[in-house]
Amino acid sequence: MIKENLAQVSRTIADGVRLIAVSKTKPVEDLQEAYDAGMRLFGENKALEMRDKHEVLPKDIEWHFIGHLQTNKIKYIAGYVSLIHSIDSLNLLQAVNKEAAKHGRVIDCLLQFHIASEETKFGLDMNEAEALLSSAEYAELKNVRIVGVMGMATNTDDRDLIRREFRTLKGYHTQLAEKYFAGCAEFKEISMGMSGDYEIAMQEGSTLVRVGSAIFGARNYNIPVND
Ligand SMILES: *Cc1c(COP(=O)(O)O)cnc(C)c1O
């Protein structure tokens, strides 16, 4: 079914938007099936799980880290990760910079914003993002590059609320682009949209959609992985 699901989802992806197959909790066989159908962008939210999958799967895969990242786990992904979507503190960005330097790499990152009305989700608000971007510590970082923003909408059936939240994130991107990234063409990514809401996200300007269950089927969540 993965191949069929992928074809179906791919048909709905707008021009200029990249589809990330979110393969967290799924076995490598499932990723291989998506790979064989042409998928090259995979998203994972646990560093050790990403490392294990990276080790055995083809090397032309672009790995996107989309989950909460602990500083002591960066080392498992720093050598190959293409984009970290979940930067939510200066401290984390500094830690990524340090691990990237060890590999002689510049790692692309997104600032994760809290746009949902739920309390629990991670992410910055605009004041925190501005404090980060205007800090002397940030200016010193040579091995990370901020290329955009990421956010997750509220898990709700209220399509208007979801749309407003995506619009808010797009607005943050516009403000930051003008104020901190003038002339930096690379600050262009807006990572928003999942299986249930990616079509709204694309209408609101998403450039990266993170789609899991619509491609791989529902996940089992009963075992919290210690990562
Ligand atoms: C799991 C996850 C997704 C994909 O969710 P689906 O609803 O399965 O498409 C997208 N983004 C993040 C940050 C996730 O953790």
pLDDT digits (tens, 9 = 90+) for 88-137: 999 999 999 999 999 999 999 999 999 998 876 689 999 999 999 999 99
pLDDT for residue 175? 98
- Cα separation, 132 vs 89, in Å, equals 7
Query: Ligand 1 centroid vs 219 CA: distance in angstroms?
Result: 10
Please report, for residues 24, 32, 167, 216, the alpha-carbon distance to residue 27 in angstroms, rounded to integers and kept in the order given: 8, 9, 35, 10
DSSP state of 124: B
β-strand partners of 211: 21
Per-residue pLDDT reduced to its tens digit, 159-199: 999 999 999 999 999 999 999 999 999 999 999 999 999 99
Q: For 32-48, what is the mean pLDDT?
A: 98
Nearest Cα residue to atom 4 of ligand 1: 212
Helix axes 126-133, 159-180, angle to 10 degrees: 20
Please report, for residues 9, 120, 136, 175, 194, the alpha-carbon distance to residue 19 in angstroms, rounded to integers and kept in the order given: 9, 26, 35, 25, 10
Q: What is the DSSP string of 159-196?
A: HHHHHHHHHHHHHHHHHHHHHH-TT-TT--EEE---TT
pLDDT for residue 56? 98
User: Long-range contacts: 175-179, Cβ < 8 Å, 24+?
Assistant: 175/126, 176/111, 176/129, 176/133, 176/149, 179/130
Q: What is the mean pLDDT of the chain?
A: 96
Q: Taking CB atoms and a 6 Å cutoff, what residues make up the pocket around ligand 1?
A: 22, 24, 45, 66-67, 152, 194-196, 210-214
pLDDT for residue 121? 66
**Which of 12, 87, 149, 194 gets mutated to test ligand 1 (max ligand atoms within 8 A of its CB)?**
194
pLDDT for residue 4? 98
Query: Ligand 1 centroid vs 134 CA: distance in angstroms?
Result: 30
